[in-house]
Chains A and B, each alone.
Chain A
Amino acid sequence: MHGVLHEVFAAIGHEAAATGFVAGLTVRVAADKHLLWIRPIFSGHEFGELSPTGLIELGFDPARLFLLSVANAGDGLRAAHDALSCVALGAVVIEISGSPKALDMMASRRLTLAAAQKSVTIFLLRFSAQPNASTAETRWLVRGVASQTQSEDWGYPSFEVDLVRNRHGKTGHWFMEWNCNGRIFQSSSADRGTVVSTAGN
C-alpha cells in the first residue's frame, strides 16, 4: 500500500536488523525510485553509519539513495514533510532515536496526511523508543534472530517480527528472512507460524 506511514521499532541492540528490515521494505515499495533517508547527525556514532557496500549486499541499489543529516528530530520531520511533496520519490525513511517531543500525535497526523496526498510512503525507524500514540498504518517490532544453519554460511538476514498494529488487516507474529537475491521477504526456517507477510505490497 502506498502513501501511508509505517512505524518500525527496533528492539534494543537490534538497530541493524531493523535497518535491514526497513531497507527491504523500501525495496518492496519502490524498487527503482529514489529514496530519501533522514537521520540525526549522531546516528552514525551511535548505531553505525549506513554503508552502501552493506546495502548492495541486500539487493538495495545505493545509487538511488539520498542521505540527509539533521540536527534534531524536529528538523527531520519538517524535511520529511517537505520531501513527501516530491512525487518522484519512492519512499522516505526517517530515523528517530528516543522519543523526542517533536514527534507527537500532531506530527504523526501531518505526516500521514502528507503521505496520503502524494502517495509517497514514509517509514519511521525508531531506535531506543517505546511505541506511543500515532496515526501510523502499521507498527512493527523487529529483532534479529539467530540463524538456524550450523554451516559456515549463516544465511540471509533473519528477523523476528511483531506486527502489533495494522489499521486495515490482521496483526501477527512471524519469523522471516530477507532473500537478498529475490529481493523479497520469505518465511524463515525458524518460522513457527503459518502466515508469511509480503509486507509493503
Chain B
Amino acid sequence: MVLVAKVDNALRLSAVDRKATSLGLVIGQPLANARAMLPDIKVVPTNDSADAKLLTQIADWCDRFTPFVAIDGPRRLLLDVTGASHLFGGEQAMLDRIRSSLQAQGFALRGAMAGTAATARAMARYRDGVVIASGDEEQAMRPLPVEALNLDATTTHALRRAGLKTVGQVAARKRSELVARLGASMLAILDEALGHATKPITPRKPPPDYWQEQNFAEPVATDHVIRTTLNSLTVALAKILEQHGQGARHLEAVFFRADGAVRRIAIEMGAPTRDAAMIDRLFREKLDTLADPLDPGFGFDLIRLSAVRIESVVLEAADLDANINAKAEISSLVDRLATRFGGHCILAFQPHNTHIPEEAWVTVPAQHMRPSKLGWKETRKAKEAPRRALRLFSRPEPIDFASAQKFIWRKARRVVAQCEGPERIAMQWWRHEMPQPARDYFRVEDNEGKRYWLYRNDATSQWFLHGVFA
C-alpha cells in the first residue's frame, strides 16, 4: 500500500508501507513510475488534516508524561521531559515506556532522548531508541550524515557538494567559513545538534504554573475514587498556591484514560482563589452538569489538576471584614453560576461613553468585570420622566403610522394619547465611512397607559419602535 500526494503538479508517493518498501518503492517517487514497477499496488490519497488530527491526539496522550509537548512538523512530537524522567524510573525506562505504549496502540515510531531537541530529532531518525546523556551529543552526532542536521534541502545539498558528508566533517570546518557560505542560522542549528546551545521548545499549550497529579497503577473508574482524588489534588494545589501567595483564576482537571483518550474539564473564577473547598465545589458542580458526562471507560490512569492562569492574591485590610465577606460571597455565587451555565450567561453592565442609545453600555461576563472609570449618568433632569427606555429591543422594530394618532406595532393598533419629542440623536459620522442617518426620538404614551420609545429615521422617514418605558 502507498499514499500519494500532489507535489509540483505530479502525483508522488508520500508514504509507503513495509511491504512496498521491500518491493523497492521509495517516498518521493512519481506514482506513474511506481505503477510501472508494480501495476497492482493499492493507492490511497494523503489526508493531511486527518494526519494532523491523529498527531494531536497522540500529543494529547503524551501530555501524561510532561505538560511540555510540542508538535514539530507534520509527523514529529517533541517532549521536554526535564525533571520528569525520575517519575518513570529514569530516562531509558521512560523512553522505552513511551515507545512500547505507542507500539501497543498500533503505531510505528522512532524515538530518542537527548539533551537538545536537534540531537533528539537526529537520533530518532538514525539511532532509534537511544538515550544520549547531556554532554555526549557531539560524540554521538559526529558519525551521522549531514541530513541528520535536518537543514533545508538547499543547504544540505550545498554541504554534500562541498564534500562534507558527515556531521563531524561539517563541525571540523572553521565557523567563519560556514557562516560565509551558508549563513548564521545554519550555525545555530549545528550548535544545538552538537549540544553547545539549547533552544526551548514551543509547547502546544502554555504550560501551567502549578500542577498536581495522581498516577494510578490500576486504572480507576468509580465516581467516588475520581472525586476523592480530585479533592486531594485540590487541597495539595491550594497549599502550593498559598505558599506562593497566588490564587488561581482558571483551573483545568485533565483525565487521562487508560486507552489514550484525554478529557479536560476547566473552571474559571472571577477572583484569584486558593480556597480548596470552593474549588472542589465548583468542580463537583461542573461534573454534575456536564452535557457530555465524564466517561471513564476502562478507567483513568492519571488525573492532573493544573492552575492554568494564576494571579497574586492581595490580602485586604482586616477591618473591612464584613465588606470583603460580601464581596467574596458574591464572586463565589457568580463563579458557581458561571460553572453551571457558562461564563457568557452571567453578565454585568459596563458603561460605554457614547450617546447612541444601544451602544451606551456593554454587557460583559461578570467574572471578567473590571471596575470602570465611567459612571452611570442619568439623561433626564430632576423631577422629569425617564428619557431612556427601560427595556430596549436589540433590533428596533419597524412600525406603521396609520394616521397621525395611530400606529401599528406587532399587529396591534395603538392610539397615541401623548407625545414628547423630538430628541435628535446623531450617529457617529466621524467613526464610519458610511454614517447612519440621524434619528429623531419621540416618547409616546397610548390611551392604555403604555409608553413607547419611537424614532424616525431622518433619511428614510421610516418609523421604528426601539424600546418601552415603565
Contacts and interface: CB of A to CB of B under 8 A. Distances in A.
Main SS of chain A's interface residues? mixed
A20 interface: yes
B451 interface: yes
A181 B351 CA distance: 21
Interface stretch (B32-40, B246-254, B373-381): B373-381
Contact of B449 (A23, A87, A89, A143): A143
Nearest to A14: B450
B389 A51 contact: yes
A48 B391 CA distance: 5
A195 interface: no
A147 B417 CA distance: 9
A104 interface: no
Contacts of B325: 88
B144 interface: no
A178 B385 CA distance: 10
B417 A146 contact: yes
A23 B469 CA distance: 12
A80 to B, nearest CB: 10
Contacts of B336: 82
Contacts of B346: 66-68
A147 to B, nearest CB: 6
A62 interface: yes
Main SS of chain B's interface residues? mixed
6 contacts: A48-B390, A54-B386, A57-B387, A82-B337, A89-B333, A153-B384
Given A82-B340, A147-B449, A157-B470, 5 more contacts: A36-B333, A56-B388, A144-B450, A156-B385, A180-B380
Given A75-B341, A153-B420, A181-B383, A63 B349 contact: yes
A34 interface: yes
Given A16-B468, A51-B392, A54-B391, A158 B449 contact: yes
B363 interface: yes
Chain A's interface size range is: 35 or more
Interface string A167-201: 00000000000101100000000000000000000
Contact of B467 (A34, A48, A143, A181): A48
Contacts of A70: 341, 345
A89 to B, nearest CB: 7
A1 interface: no
B192 interface: no
A57 B388 contact: yes
Contact of A53 (B333, B357, B450): B357
A70 B347 CA distance: 12
B218 to A, nearest CB: 37
B330 A49 contact: no
Looking at B378, B382, B470, the one whose CB has the most chain A CB atoms below 10 A away is B470
A18 to B, nearest CB: 8
Contacts of A16: 389-391, 450-451, 468-470
A19 B443 contact: no
Contact of A20 (B340, B390, B467): B390
A147 B445 contact: yes
A82 B338 CA distance: 12
Interface in B107-166: none
Contacts of A48: 389-393, 467-468
Interface in A10-58: 13-17, 19-21, 23, 33-34, 36, 44-45, 47-58
Looking at A34, A154, A155, the one whose CB has the most chain B CB atoms below 10 A away is A154
Given A146-B417, A146-B448, A152-B420, A83 B386 contact: no
Looking at B334, B387, B390, the one whose CB has the most chain A CB atoms below 10 A away is B390
A166 interface: no
Given A58-B470, A63-B376, A83-B333, A145 B449 contact: yes
A128 interface: no
A102 interface: no
A20 B467 CA distance: 13
B376 A83 contact: no
A62 B376 contact: yes
Interface in B306-358: 325-327, 329-330, 332-334, 336-337, 340-341, 345-349, 351, 357
A60 B102 CA distance: 62
A68 B337 CA distance: 8
A52 B376 contact: yes
Interface string B441-470: 001011111110000000000000001111
A89 B333 CA distance: 9
Contacts of B420: 152-154
A79 B340 contact: yes
B360 interface: yes
A86 B329 CA distance: 6
A61 B376 contact: yes
Contact of A154 (B351, B393, B445): B445
Looking at A15, A53, A181, the one whose CB has the most chain B CB atoms below 10 A away is A53
